[in-house]
Amino acid sequence: MSKMREALARKKRIVIKIGSSSLVHSNTQNLDYIKLEKLVRFLCDLRNQGKDVILVSSGAIGVGAKSLGLFERPRTTSLKQACAAVGQGQLMMIYQKLFSEYHQVSAQVLLTFDVITSEERRQNSINTFNELFQLGIIPVVNENDTVATEEIEFGDNDTLSAIVAALVRADCLILMSDIDGLYTDDPHYDKDATLISEVEEINDELKAMAKGAATSLGTGGMATKLAAASIATAVGADMVIMNGERIELLQELFQGKDVGTLFHAHPELHFNIEEYIKEACR
């Protein structure tokens, strides 16, 4: 057990992102309520420990598409936005019901990319998050897909979660995906690929390992996760990529066990979020 992993239990402000493929049953694409309940229970327990918690949740478009009887992810922007309009409310209603069972208040926060490009909107977002923390509320964040276009969208919730971590100055970011962590090659195709436990520095060799998305539901692959790690670690947050299939692994992670891939924080004194996002996402 490394000292860096032991330190995860002492983190005070945590952002957890869960991807679309981790929220549903693989055979039906319907929401997996057992997973959702386990996730919400764990977040509430973190909050009961006095930690600030943010959940960045995908799934609105998928939930909406399922509700509308669509059998594959919509391709056009307008249909994606229509699905998001239907699914976002449904998904948030489920989250609020689950949080309320543990006497926890949650809040929906929908962001668009101009939260980065507009200093006023960025500061307003920071103020809102800080006020929610003061009130003991857990924000549930997603991109505002109903109004975002290709020119102003984050692109995926890996990037969004890293930006949220930067905005609130989180000290820990966890990306829950359909893979155990960063491998030396894509384990879906290379049986000899090995899991990398800890990453001290993101270099060109690591970036070369990044592959595309492995599922039809997700929008981001390992490349977007490394870009998110570049942002999060620069702002001073340790970041973990782990498998969202087993929610209970979150408990083991915060016990210092060897779960997923841990990226060590290396805070930059003059961190500029706009410039860094452009560089990290190239």
Please identify every stretch of the chain with a pLDDT value under 70, giving residue numbers as ranges: 1, 145, 148-155, 209-220, 271-282
pTM higher than 0.85 for the full model?
A: yes
Tell me how far apart the alpha carbons of residues 8 and 21 are, in angstroms, rounded to a whole number. 25
| Contact (CB, 8 A) for 238 and 171 | yes
Closest-CA residue to 189 (of 212, 223, 217): 212
| Contact (CB, 8 A) for 187 and 253 | no
Structure tokens at 204: 């060109």
Q: Helix, strand, or coil here: 256?
A: coil
> Would you tell me how many other CB atoms lie within 10 Å of the CB of residue 213?
18
> Could you tell me the sign of the dihedral formed by the alpha carbons of 246, 250, 255, 259, in that order?
positive
> Would you tell me how many other CB atoms lie within 10 Å of the CB of residue 105?
13
Q: Running DSSP on this structure, what letter comes out for residue 169?
A: T
Looking at residue 237, what is its pLDDT? 96
Looking at residue 71, what is its pLDDT? 80
Q: Using CB atoms within 10 A of its CB, is residue 200 exposed (0-12), middle (13-18) or buried (19+)? A: exposed
Report the DSSP beta bridge partners of residue 261: 241
> Strand ranges (DSSP E) for the chain?
13-18, 52-57, 106-111, 138-143, 172-177, 198-199, 238-243, 261-263
The architecture that CATH gives domain 3-280 is: 3-Layer(aba) Sandwich (3.40)
What is the residue extent of each domain of the chain? 3-280
pLDDT tens, 191-211?
Answer: 888 999 999 988 877 777 665
